[in-house]
Amino acid sequence: MAEHHLKKATWSWIVAPGARNTKRHSGIQYCPACLKNDVRPYFRIHWRFAWHTCCKVHGHALLDRCHACNSPVEYHRLEAEDELITVCATCKADLRTASSRGCVSDALKFQLVADDVLLNGIGTFQSSAMSISPWFELADYFVSLIRVAQRGENQTLSEFLKLIGVQLPMSPPMQPGNHLETLQTHDRERLLAALLPIMSVSKDKFDGALQKSNISKQGLAGHGLVLPAWIKNTSASLPRTLREKSTRLSARIDGPRPRYQVKRMMAKLQRKLDMAHR
Protein backbone atom coordinates (compact mmCIF):
# COMPACT_ATOMS: atom_id res chain seq x y z
CA MET A 1 0.00 0.00 0.00
CA ALA A 2 2.60 2.50 1.13
CA GLU A 3 4.88 1.44 -1.68
CA HIS A 4 2.16 2.04 -4.24
CA HIS A 5 1.61 5.55 -2.89
CA LEU A 6 5.31 6.15 -2.79
CA LYS A 7 5.67 5.32 -6.45
CA LYS A 8 2.75 7.47 -7.48
CA ALA A 9 3.08 10.45 -5.19
CA THR A 10 6.69 10.88 -4.34
CA TRP A 11 8.56 9.82 -7.41
CA SER A 12 10.52 13.06 -7.43
CA TRP A 13 11.65 12.29 -3.86
CA ILE A 14 13.55 9.13 -4.78
CA VAL A 15 17.30 9.28 -5.31
CA ALA A 16 18.06 7.55 -8.61
CA PRO A 17 20.61 4.70 -8.54
CA GLY A 18 22.99 6.08 -11.10
CA ALA A 19 24.96 9.16 -11.97
CA ARG A 20 24.78 8.99 -15.75
CA ASN A 21 23.09 12.37 -15.86
CA THR A 22 25.86 14.94 -15.70
CA LYS A 23 23.60 17.36 -13.82
CA ARG A 24 23.32 14.84 -11.04
CA HIS A 25 25.49 15.55 -8.04
CA SER A 26 24.40 12.94 -5.54
CA GLY A 27 25.62 9.38 -5.04
CA ILE A 28 23.79 6.53 -3.34
CA GLN A 29 23.47 7.35 0.36
CA TYR A 30 24.81 5.07 3.09
CA CYS A 31 25.64 4.93 6.79
CA PRO A 32 29.12 3.49 7.31
CA ALA A 33 28.19 2.24 10.80
CA CYS A 34 25.18 0.29 9.47
CA LEU A 35 27.29 -1.31 6.72
CA LYS A 36 29.98 -2.16 9.26
CA ASN A 37 27.48 -4.00 11.48
CA ASP A 38 26.02 -6.07 8.65
CA VAL A 39 27.06 -9.70 8.34
CA ARG A 40 26.25 -9.34 4.67
CA PRO A 41 26.37 -5.61 3.92
CA TYR A 42 23.44 -4.20 1.94
CA PHE A 43 22.17 -0.74 0.99
CA ARG A 44 18.88 0.06 2.73
CA ILE A 45 15.89 1.02 0.57
CA HIS A 46 15.21 4.10 2.73
CA TRP A 47 18.66 5.49 1.91
CA ARG A 48 17.15 6.15 -1.52
CA PHE A 49 14.50 8.49 -0.11
CA ALA A 50 15.48 12.11 -0.80
CA TRP A 51 14.09 13.22 2.59
CA HIS A 52 16.52 10.85 4.35
CA THR A 53 19.79 12.55 5.26
CA CYS A 54 20.38 10.88 8.62
CA CYS A 55 20.72 7.36 10.06
CA LYS A 56 18.29 7.33 12.96
CA VAL A 57 19.91 4.16 14.36
CA HIS A 58 23.34 5.74 14.76
CA GLY A 59 22.48 9.45 14.70
CA HIS A 60 25.02 9.94 11.91
CA ALA A 61 24.57 12.03 8.78
CA LEU A 62 24.32 9.77 5.73
CA LEU A 63 27.18 9.95 3.24
CA ASP A 64 26.87 9.81 -0.54
CA ARG A 65 30.51 10.14 -1.54
CA CYS A 66 33.64 8.08 -1.05
CA HIS A 67 35.69 9.36 1.91
CA ALA A 68 38.94 8.60 0.06
CA CYS A 69 38.42 9.96 -3.48
CA ASN A 70 35.17 11.99 -3.13
CA SER A 71 33.46 10.17 -6.06
CA PRO A 72 29.68 9.69 -5.78
CA VAL A 73 28.88 6.20 -4.46
CA GLU A 74 27.59 4.10 -7.36
CA TYR A 75 27.47 0.43 -6.49
CA HIS A 76 25.95 -0.44 -9.88
CA ARG A 77 29.37 0.39 -11.38
CA LEU A 78 31.08 -2.35 -9.36
CA GLU A 79 32.42 -5.41 -11.16
CA ALA A 80 32.31 -9.06 -10.17
CA GLU A 81 35.95 -9.08 -9.03
CA ASP A 82 35.20 -6.27 -6.54
CA GLU A 83 33.29 -8.92 -4.55
CA LEU A 84 32.14 -6.52 -1.83
CA ILE A 85 29.30 -4.04 -2.33
CA THR A 86 30.95 -1.75 0.22
CA VAL A 87 33.92 -0.72 -1.92
CA CYS A 88 34.11 2.52 -3.89
CA ALA A 89 33.67 1.79 -7.62
CA THR A 90 36.31 4.40 -8.45
CA CYS A 91 39.20 3.92 -5.97
CA LYS A 92 38.19 0.64 -4.24
CA ALA A 93 38.38 2.14 -0.73
CA ASP A 94 36.16 0.36 1.81
CA LEU A 95 33.19 2.66 2.54
CA ARG A 96 32.69 1.01 5.94
CA THR A 97 35.84 2.74 7.20
CA ALA A 98 34.42 6.24 6.51
CA SER A 99 33.61 8.41 9.51
CA SER A 100 30.48 10.55 9.70
CA ARG A 101 29.41 13.54 11.78
CA GLY A 102 26.16 13.88 13.72
CA CYS A 103 22.83 14.68 12.02
CA VAL A 104 21.36 18.18 11.66
CA SER A 105 18.50 17.84 14.13
CA ASP A 106 15.80 19.73 12.16
CA ALA A 107 16.61 17.66 9.06
CA LEU A 108 16.15 14.49 11.12
CA LYS A 109 12.88 15.84 12.52
CA PHE A 110 11.59 16.49 9.00
CA GLN A 111 12.73 13.01 7.95
CA LEU A 112 10.74 11.39 10.78
CA VAL A 113 7.63 13.45 9.95
CA ALA A 114 7.85 12.49 6.25
CA ASP A 115 8.38 8.80 7.20
CA ASP A 116 5.19 8.97 9.28
CA VAL A 117 3.24 10.52 6.41
CA LEU A 118 4.33 7.69 4.16
CA LEU A 119 3.70 4.93 6.72
CA ASN A 120 0.29 6.18 7.82
CA GLY A 121 -0.83 7.37 4.39
CA ILE A 122 -1.82 10.69 5.92
CA GLY A 123 -0.10 13.97 6.71
CA THR A 124 -1.13 17.27 8.25
CA PHE A 125 -0.50 20.81 7.12
CA GLN A 126 -1.84 23.78 9.08
CA SER A 127 -3.90 21.21 11.04
CA SER A 128 -5.66 19.91 7.90
CA ALA A 129 -5.30 16.20 7.19
CA MET A 130 -4.27 15.28 3.68
CA SER A 131 -3.07 12.23 1.76
CA ILE A 132 0.53 11.50 0.83
CA SER A 133 0.53 13.11 -2.58
CA PRO A 134 -0.64 16.66 -1.68
CA TRP A 135 1.58 16.65 1.40
CA PHE A 136 4.70 15.91 -0.62
CA GLU A 137 3.53 18.36 -3.29
CA LEU A 138 3.44 21.10 -0.64
CA ALA A 139 6.88 20.11 0.67
CA ASP A 140 8.23 20.17 -2.87
CA TYR A 141 6.80 23.63 -3.51
CA PHE A 142 8.23 25.08 -0.30
CA VAL A 143 11.67 23.61 -1.01
CA SER A 144 11.59 25.42 -4.36
CA LEU A 145 10.48 28.61 -2.61
CA ILE A 146 13.39 28.35 -0.14
CA ARG A 147 15.79 27.84 -3.04
CA VAL A 148 14.46 30.94 -4.82
CA ALA A 149 14.87 32.98 -1.61
CA GLN A 150 18.38 31.59 -1.22
CA ARG A 151 19.38 33.23 -4.49
CA GLY A 152 18.75 36.52 -2.71
CA GLU A 153 16.83 38.21 -5.52
CA ASN A 154 13.53 38.57 -3.74
CA GLN A 155 13.60 40.47 -0.43
CA THR A 156 9.85 40.17 0.19
CA LEU A 157 10.02 36.40 -0.19
CA SER A 158 12.93 36.20 2.26
CA GLU A 159 10.94 38.37 4.69
CA PHE A 160 7.87 36.12 4.31
CA LEU A 161 9.94 33.00 5.06
CA LYS A 162 11.67 34.68 7.99
CA LEU A 163 8.29 35.55 9.53
CA ILE A 164 7.39 31.84 9.37
CA GLY A 165 10.62 30.97 11.17
CA VAL A 166 12.70 29.71 8.25
CA GLN A 167 16.45 30.20 8.47
CA LEU A 168 17.79 30.18 4.94
CA PRO A 169 20.67 27.73 4.46
CA MET A 170 24.06 29.43 4.61
CA SER A 171 25.52 27.26 1.85
CA PRO A 172 25.70 28.88 -1.60
CA PRO A 173 22.55 28.42 -3.68
CA MET A 174 22.43 25.32 -5.84
CA GLN A 175 21.71 25.29 -9.57
CA PRO A 176 17.96 25.88 -9.95
CA GLY A 177 17.67 23.15 -12.62
CA ASN A 178 18.81 20.43 -10.22
CA HIS A 179 15.90 18.76 -8.49
CA LEU A 180 16.03 17.99 -4.80
CA GLU A 181 16.71 14.28 -5.33
CA THR A 182 19.79 15.05 -7.42
CA LEU A 183 21.46 17.21 -4.78
CA GLN A 184 24.24 16.00 -2.52
CA THR A 185 23.18 14.82 0.91
CA HIS A 186 24.57 17.82 2.81
CA ASP A 187 22.78 20.31 0.51
CA ARG A 188 19.50 18.42 0.91
CA GLU A 189 20.05 18.22 4.66
CA ARG A 190 20.20 22.01 4.96
CA LEU A 191 17.16 22.55 2.73
CA LEU A 192 15.08 20.01 4.67
CA ALA A 193 16.09 21.59 7.99
CA ALA A 194 14.86 24.94 6.61
CA LEU A 195 11.65 23.28 5.43
CA LEU A 196 10.63 21.96 8.87
CA PRO A 197 9.20 25.27 10.25
CA ILE A 198 7.03 25.77 7.14
CA MET A 199 5.60 22.27 7.18
CA SER A 200 4.71 22.62 10.87
CA VAL A 201 3.49 26.25 10.77
CA SER A 202 0.01 27.14 12.09
CA LYS A 203 -2.55 28.62 9.73
CA ASP A 204 -2.60 31.89 11.71
CA LYS A 205 1.14 32.30 11.55
CA PHE A 206 1.21 31.45 7.83
CA ASP A 207 -1.59 33.88 6.95
CA GLY A 208 -0.06 36.52 9.21
CA ALA A 209 3.27 36.20 7.38
CA LEU A 210 1.51 36.53 4.02
CA GLN A 211 -0.14 39.75 5.16
CA LYS A 212 2.81 41.28 6.98
CA SER A 213 5.30 40.64 4.20
CA ASN A 214 2.74 41.84 1.63
CA ILE A 215 4.18 39.26 -0.74
CA SER A 216 3.10 39.53 -4.37
CA LYS A 217 1.79 36.99 -6.84
CA GLN A 218 5.21 37.00 -8.46
CA GLY A 219 6.80 36.21 -5.11
CA LEU A 220 4.71 33.07 -4.55
CA ALA A 221 3.96 31.77 -8.01
CA GLY A 222 6.65 33.34 -10.17
CA HIS A 223 10.08 31.87 -10.91
CA GLY A 224 8.46 28.95 -12.75
CA LEU A 225 6.73 27.79 -9.56
CA VAL A 226 3.15 26.58 -9.48
CA LEU A 227 1.24 27.34 -6.29
CA PRO A 228 -0.20 24.09 -4.87
CA ALA A 229 -4.00 23.91 -5.19
CA TRP A 230 -4.37 23.38 -1.44
CA ILE A 231 -2.86 26.77 -0.57
CA LYS A 232 -4.77 28.54 -3.29
CA ASN A 233 -8.05 27.15 -2.00
CA THR A 234 -7.54 27.66 1.71
CA SER A 235 -5.50 30.78 2.24
CA ALA A 236 -7.64 33.88 2.59
CA SER A 237 -4.57 36.08 2.86
CA LEU A 238 -3.14 35.30 -0.56
CA PRO A 239 -2.35 38.24 -2.81
CA ARG A 240 -5.56 39.31 -4.50
CA THR A 241 -4.31 38.49 -7.98
CA LEU A 242 -3.90 34.80 -7.09
CA ARG A 243 -7.35 34.46 -5.57
CA GLU A 244 -9.08 36.36 -8.34
CA LYS A 245 -7.59 34.05 -10.89
CA SER A 246 -9.08 30.97 -9.26
CA THR A 247 -12.49 32.64 -8.72
CA ARG A 248 -12.69 33.64 -12.37
CA LEU A 249 -11.78 30.11 -13.38
CA SER A 250 -14.53 28.49 -11.33
CA ALA A 251 -17.10 31.03 -12.55
CA ARG A 252 -16.23 30.11 -16.10
CA ILE A 253 -16.57 26.39 -15.39
CA ASP A 254 -19.99 26.81 -13.78
CA GLY A 255 -21.54 28.95 -16.50
CA PRO A 256 -22.67 27.75 -19.95
CA ARG A 257 -20.08 28.06 -22.69
CA PRO A 258 -20.55 29.26 -26.22
CA ARG A 259 -20.67 26.47 -28.79
CA TYR A 260 -17.40 27.45 -30.50
CA GLN A 261 -15.59 27.25 -27.18
CA VAL A 262 -16.89 23.75 -26.46
CA LYS A 263 -15.79 22.62 -29.92
CA ARG A 264 -12.34 24.04 -29.36
CA MET A 265 -12.07 22.31 -25.98
CA MET A 266 -13.16 18.98 -27.45
CA ALA A 267 -10.52 19.26 -30.16
CA LYS A 268 -7.87 20.04 -27.57
CA LEU A 269 -8.90 17.10 -25.41
CA GLN A 270 -8.87 14.78 -28.44
CA ARG A 271 -5.33 15.88 -29.31
CA LYS A 272 -4.24 15.16 -25.73
CA LEU A 273 -5.83 11.69 -25.85
CA ASP A 274 -4.17 10.97 -29.20
CA MET A 275 -0.83 11.97 -27.78
CA ALA A 276 -1.34 9.76 -24.72
CA HIS A 277 -2.13 6.69 -26.88
CA ARG A 278 0.74 7.18 -29.25
Number of residues lying near Zn ion (CB under 5 A): 14
Q: Is 55 in the site for Zn ion (CB under 5 A)?
A: yes
Q: Interface with Zn ion by CB under 5 A: which range of 3-11, 57-65, 184-192, 229-237?
A: 57-65
150 in Cβ contact with 178 (< 8 Å): no
Comparison of 33 and 130: residue with beta carbon closer to Zn ion:
33
| Candidate list 88, 103, 174, 221; residue touching Zn ion; CB under 5 A | 88
| Candidate list 90, 124, 211, 234; residue touching Zn ion; CB under 5 A | 90
| Candidate list 91, 226, 249, 266; residue touching Zn ion; CB under 5 A | 91
Q: CA-CA distances (angstroms) from residue 110 to 117, 195, 229?
A: 11, 8, 22
Q: CA-CA distances (angstroms) from residue 75 to 20, 56, 86, 160, 183?
A: 13, 23, 8, 42, 18
Rg (CA), the chain: 22
Comparison of 44 and 205: residue with beta carbon closer to Zn ion:
44
For 249, the 3-state DSSP assignment is: helix
Q: Is 42 in the site for Zn ion (CB under 5 A)?
A: no
Q: Is 69 in the site for Zn ion (CB under 5 A)?
A: yes
Q: Is 66 in the site for Zn ion (CB under 5 A)?
A: yes
Comparison of 66 and 143: residue with beta carbon closer to Zn ion:
66
> Minimum Å distance from CB 118 to Zn ion?
19
Comparison of 47 and 125: residue with beta carbon closer to Zn ion:
47
- Residues 124-153 touching Zn ion, rule: CB under 5 A, are none
Q: State the Cα angle at 181 between 74 and 238, rounded to 5°.
A: 175
| Candidate list 5, 36, 58, 217; residue touching Zn ion; CB under 5 A | 58
234 in Cβ contact with 175 (< 8 Å): no
253 vs 147: CA distance, rounded Å? 35
DSSP secondary structure of 153-203: --HHHHHHHHHHT----SSPPPPTTS-GGGS-HHHHHHHHHHHHHHHT--H
Comparison of 78 and 93: residue with beta carbon closer to Zn ion:
93
Comparison of 49 and 160: residue with beta carbon closer to Zn ion:
49
Q: State the Cα torsion 12-15-20-23 to the nearest 10°.
A: 60
Comparison of 74 and 137: residue with beta carbon closer to Zn ion:
74
- Residues 194-253 touching Zn ion, rule: CB under 5 A, are none
For 123, the 3-state DSSP assignment is: strand
Q: State the Cα torsion 249-228-3-77 to the nearest 10°.
A: 120
Contacting residues toward Zn ion, per CB under 5 A: 31, 33-34, 55, 57-58, 66, 68-69, 71, 88, 90-91, 93
